[in-house]
């Protein structure tokens, strides 16, 4: 640097608000993130080796223990804190084959918590729901399910996603397909309603009537993608078969081909097991009683390996912690990370933490939560905190322009009432913000689907989120003042005519799945 420009630079420094020391830490965060990234190995160990992290499974426990060990290896103190208990269950082998009128192996899997079959499995004919006139005729039909697998999802008119239709179909045939699909869906729902049951309550009725298994198909509106949630049966297996194979079987039943399938769905009921959050922290030196919290739920559904929901959020927070410990080992405020359990069943881990730790929650400087996929952060909203503009903007100014320029901010924003764990903190009045990602087709392709796997991770974007999170955390920790919690006055609700109120803390489910 020339002497004159150095002089001007030094003059400008106080204006920028960053000291030389701050600039060094910010530079070191980026250097460590780019030159010594641990993201790929962490991603491999978590997604490939441990696998999906359904609450109550041995894999969830393994993940908690793995995270504690990782933190300890980085010199960060960590522990698993029990917040409740859950039905213990372990997924075993699922194999689904059509065995008649010809043989074809089918793509599908048992739903979470499905009762298992023996290792020999069950072979039976498939049956679809009839046209139902009323509940009396349905009850008369019910005994026909005895000894059969019952298909309980509508046959989709197309396995192509809408954007594929939009690109290739004539506008007329695209419209025609959508109208057809709407009418089919409406007719399907009304048919079930006439049975006296709904989509959910019809399942136990079929089970009681002697069905040997339930065959579902929850298409996620994308090629090859089905959403995999929990079973509603108590004794018989529930499997989800992907759209392509499900549609084939359905057509075969409709045409009188009497297809038979062989299902092996092994699983283990493990009774009741404890449920945890993994908590790690780097103690503050000046204001140890004040907290900056990194937040990402640790659990997942188990159709895939939970790579984008929420493996990537988990990686961001772990890697940010690792880097901060290395380049900023003596933070002004305490930096705590929460890897929450059972977010997917209703934010249970994080809301338990909020309920159990008022001494922390009342002293939160900021919470940064990430939970919507692998994409780089594209928006941050002020969560309804009136002064959030002041501090969030100040912290963001320290983030390199290449990352910051993609981020849209909204102030004062609105308080999250659900969706992810930041809501648990917001409800308690703590400034908690969602680092909201670009979609990368999250909602249809990976969110809660069989396709939520390692190959969908976009590591460049995850790395950019690590740098953002680490710098925001550093800035929040170093800030001269404690953040304001002043809340906006919420607008009148158009529907009720009443003023909207700040979300209230939810009561966590401490014992679930039983
Ligand atoms: Zn999630």
Q: What is the pLDDT of residues 460-484, one digit of tens each?
A: 999 999 999 999 999 999 999 999 9
Q: Any idea what DSSP says for residue 291?
A: E
Q: What is the pLDDT of residues 241-284, one digit of tens each?
A: 999 999 999 999 999 999 999 999 999 999 999 999 999 999 99
Write a three-state SS string for 338-381: EEECCCCCCCHHHHHHHHHCHHHHCCEEEEEECCCCCCCEEEEE
**pLDDT classification of 16: cutoffs 50, 70, 90:** low
Closest CA to 295 of 200, 426, 144, 397: 426
Strand partners, 274: 85
The rounded mean pLDDT for the chain is 96
Question: Kindly report the CA angle at 44 between 43 and 46, in degrees rounded to 5?
Answer: 65
Distance, in Å, from the CA atom of 464 to the CA atom of 169, rounded to the nearest integer, reads 38
**pLDDT classification of 11: cutoffs 50, 70, 90:** very low
How far, rounded to the nearest angstrom, does the alpha carbon of residue 361 sit from its chain's CA centroid? Answer: 23
Q: Give residue 306's pLDDT.
A: 98
Give the percent of the chain with pLDDT over 90. 95
Q: What is the pLDDT of residues 17-60, one digit of tens each?
A: 578 999 999 999 999 999 999 999 999 999 999 999 999 999 99
Lowest-pLDDT choice from 2-6, 85-89, 473-477, 492-496? 2-6
- Cβ neighbours of residue 313 closer than 8 Å, sequence gap 6 or more: 296, 297, 369, 370, 371
Instruction: State the distance from the centre of ligand 1 to the C-alpha of 489, rounded, in angstroms.
Output: 29
Average the pLDDT over 106-117 and give the result.
Answer: 98
Cis peptide before 412 (omega within 30 of 0): yes
Q: Give residue 18's pLDDT.
A: 75
Residue 312: pLDDT over 50: yes
Q: What is the pLDDT of residues 61-107, one digit of tens each?
A: 999 999 999 999 999 999 999 999 999 999 999 999 999 999 999 99
Average the pLDDT over 204-221 and give the result.
Answer: 98
**pLDDT classification of 14: cutoffs 50, 70, 90:** very low
Encoding tokens for residue 322? 């690792």
Instruction: State the distance from the centre of ligand 1 to the C-alpha of 300, rounded, in angstroms.
Output: 7
CB atoms within 10 A of CB 422: 28
Instruction: State the distance from the centre of ligand 1 to the C-alpha of 106, rounded, in angstroms.
Output: 28
Instruction: State the distance from the centre of ligand 1 to the C-alpha of 431, rounded, in angstroms.
Output: 20
Closest CA to 364 of 207, 475, 485: 485
Instruction: State the distance from the centre of ligand 1 to the C-alpha of 288, rounded, in angstroms.
Output: 30
Instruction: State the distance from the centre of ligand 1 to the C-alpha of 151, rounded, in angstroms.
Output: 29
Encoding tokens for residue 142? 């019910």
Lowest-pLDDT choice from 223-227, 333-337, 492-496? 492-496
Cis peptide before 431 (omega within 30 of 0): no
Instruction: State the distance from the centre of ligand 1 to the C-alpha of 442, rounded, in angstroms.
Output: 11
Q: Would you say 446 and 311 are in contact if contact means Cβ atoms under 8 Å apart?
A: no
Instruction: State the distance from the centre of ligand 1 to the C-alpha of 420, rounded, in angstroms.
Output: 7
Average the pLDDT over 203-220 and give the result.
Answer: 98
Residue 1: pLDDT over 70: no
How far, rounded to the nearest angstrom, does the alpha carbon of residue 355 sit from its chain's CA centroid? Answer: 22
Distance, in Å, from the CA atom of 51 to the CA atom of 58, rounded to the nearest integer, reads 10
Residue 383 CA: distances (Å) to CA of 229, 265, 408, 420, 494: 30, 44, 14, 13, 20
Residue 98 CA: distances (Å) to CA of 91, 102, 125, 245, 248: 22, 7, 10, 10, 11
Instruction: State the distance from the centre of ligand 1 to the C-alpha of 208, rounded, in angstroms.
Output: 34
Instruction: State the distance from the centre of ligand 1 to the C-alpha of 183, rounded, in angstroms.
Output: 32
pTM: 0.94
Instruction: State the distance from the centre of ligand 1 to the C-alpha of 51, rounded, in angstroms.
Output: 15
Q: Would you say 317 and 294 are in contact if contact means Cβ atoms under 8 Å apart?
A: yes
Instruction: State the distance from the centre of ligand 1 to the C-alpha of 250, rounded, in angstroms.
Output: 32
Q: Give residue 397's pLDDT.
A: 96
Q: What is the pLDDT of residues 151-171, one digit of tens each?
A: 999 999 999 999 999 999 999
Burial 47-85 (b: 16+ CB within 10 A, else e): beebbbbbbbbbbbbebbebbbebbeebebebebbebbb
Instruction: State the distance from the centre of ligand 1 to the C-alpha of 192, rounded, in angstroms.
Output: 31
Q: Residue 335 class from Cβ within 10 Å (0-12 exposed, 13-18 middle, 19+ buried)? A: buried
- Which residues lie near ion ligand 1 (Cβ < 5 Å)? 309-310, 371
CB atoms within 10 A of CB 257: 14
Instruction: State the distance from the centre of ligand 1 to the C-alpha of 197, rounded, in angstroms.
Output: 30
Instruction: State the distance from the centre of ligand 1 to the C-alpha of 455, rounded, in angstroms.
Output: 18
Residue 330: pLDDT over 90: yes
Instruction: State the distance from the centre of ligand 1 to the C-alpha of 296, rounded, in angstroms.
Output: 8
Q: What is the pLDDT of residues 346-373, one digit of tens each?
A: 999 999 999 999 999 999 999 999 999 9
Q: Would you say 350 and 417 are in contact if contact means Cβ atoms under 8 Å apart?
A: no
Distance, in Å, from the CA atom of 434 to the CA atom of 104, rounded to the nearest integer, reads 45
Instruction: State the distance from the centre of ligand 1 to the C-alpha of 201, rounded, in angstroms.
Output: 26
Closest CA to 90 of 66, 54, 49: 54
Instruction: State the distance from the centre of ligand 1 to the C-alpha of 371, rounded, in angstroms.
Output: 5
Residue 112: pLDDT over 90: yes
Instruction: State the distance from the centre of ligand 1 to the C-alpha of 185, rounded, in angstroms.
Output: 28
Classify 84 as helix, strand or coil.
strand
Instruction: State the distance from the centre of ligand 1 to the C-alpha of 229, rounded, in angstroms.
Output: 13
Residue 15: pLDDT over 90: no
* DSSP per position, 239-262: EEE-HHHHHHHHHHHHTT---EEE
Q: Give residue 19's pLDDT.
A: 86
Instruction: State the distance from the centre of ligand 1 to the C-alpha of 342, rounded, in angstroms.
Output: 10
Distance, in Å, from the CA atom of 437 to the CA atom of 376, rounded to the nearest integer, reads 5
Instruction: State the distance from the centre of ligand 1 to the C-alpha of 316, rounded, in angstroms.
Output: 14
Q: Give residue 345's pLDDT.
A: 97
Closest CA to 337 of 348, 323, 327: 323
Task: Give first-to-last CA distance, the chain, whole Å.
Answer: 68
């Amino acid at each position: 640097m020339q002497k004159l420009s150095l002089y001007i630079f030094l003059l400008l420094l106080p204006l920028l608000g960053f000291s030389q020391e701050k600039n060094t830490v910010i530079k070191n965060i980026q250097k460590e993130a780019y030159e010594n990234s641990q993201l790929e190995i962490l991603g491999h160990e978590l997604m490939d080796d441990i696998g999906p992290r359904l609450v109550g499974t041995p894999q969830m426990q393994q993940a908690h223990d793995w995270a504690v060990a990782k933190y300890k290896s980085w010199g960060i103190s960590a522990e698993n804190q029990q917040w409740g208990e859950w039905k213990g269950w372990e997924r075993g082998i699922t194999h689904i084959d059509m065995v008649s009128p010809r043989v074809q192996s089918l793509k599908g899997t048992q739903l979470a918590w499905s009762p298992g079959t023996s290792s020999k499995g069950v072979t039976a004919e498939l049956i679809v729901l009839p046209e139902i006139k009323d509940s009396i005729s349905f009850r008369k039909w019910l005994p026909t399910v005895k000894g059969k697998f019952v298909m309980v999802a509508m046959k989709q008119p197309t396995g192509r996603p809408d954007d594929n239709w939009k690109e290739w179909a004539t506008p007329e045939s695209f419209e025609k397909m959508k109208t057809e699909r709407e009418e089919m869906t409406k007719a399907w729902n009304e048919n079930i309603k006439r049975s006296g049951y709904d989509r959910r309550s019809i399942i136990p009725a079929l089970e009681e009537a002697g069905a040997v298994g339930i065959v579902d198909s929850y298409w996620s509106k994308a090629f090859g993608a089905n959403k995999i949630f929990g079973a509603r049966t108590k004794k018989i297996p529930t499997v989800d078969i992907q759209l392509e194979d499900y549609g084939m079987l359905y057509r075969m039943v409709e045409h009188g081909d009497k297809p038979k399938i062989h299902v092996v769905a092994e699983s283990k009921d493990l009774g009741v097991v404890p449920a945890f959050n993994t908590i790690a922290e780097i103690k503050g030196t000046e204001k140890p009683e004040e907290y900056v919290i990194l937040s990402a739920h640790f659990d997942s559904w188990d159709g895939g390996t939970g790579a984008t929901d929420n493996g990537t959020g988990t990686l961001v927070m772990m890697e940010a912690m690792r880097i901060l410990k290395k380049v900023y080992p003596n933070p002004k405020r305490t930096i705590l990370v929460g890897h929450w359990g059972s977010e997917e069943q209703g934010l249970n881990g994080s809301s338990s933490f909020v309920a159990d730790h008022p001494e922390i929650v009342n002293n939160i400087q900021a919470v940064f939560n990430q939970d919507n996929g692998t994409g780089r952060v594209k928006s941050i909203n002020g969560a309804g905190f009136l002064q959030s503009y002041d501090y969030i903007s100040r912290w963001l100014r320290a983030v390199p322009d290449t990352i910051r320029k993609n981020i849209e901010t909204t102030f004062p924003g609105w308080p999250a009432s659900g969706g992810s764990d930041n809501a648990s903190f917001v409800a308690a009045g703590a400034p908690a913000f969602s680092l909201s990602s670009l979609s990368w087709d999250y909602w249809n392709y990976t969110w809660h689907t069989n396709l939520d796997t390692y190959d969908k991770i976009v590591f460049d974007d995850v790395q950019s989120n690590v740098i953002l999170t680490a710098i925001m955390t550093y800035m929040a920790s170093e800030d001269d003042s404690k953040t304001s919690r002043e809340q906006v006055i919420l607008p009148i609700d158009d529907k009720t005519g009443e003023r909207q109120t700040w979300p209230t803390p939810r009561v966590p489910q401490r014992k679930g799945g039983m």
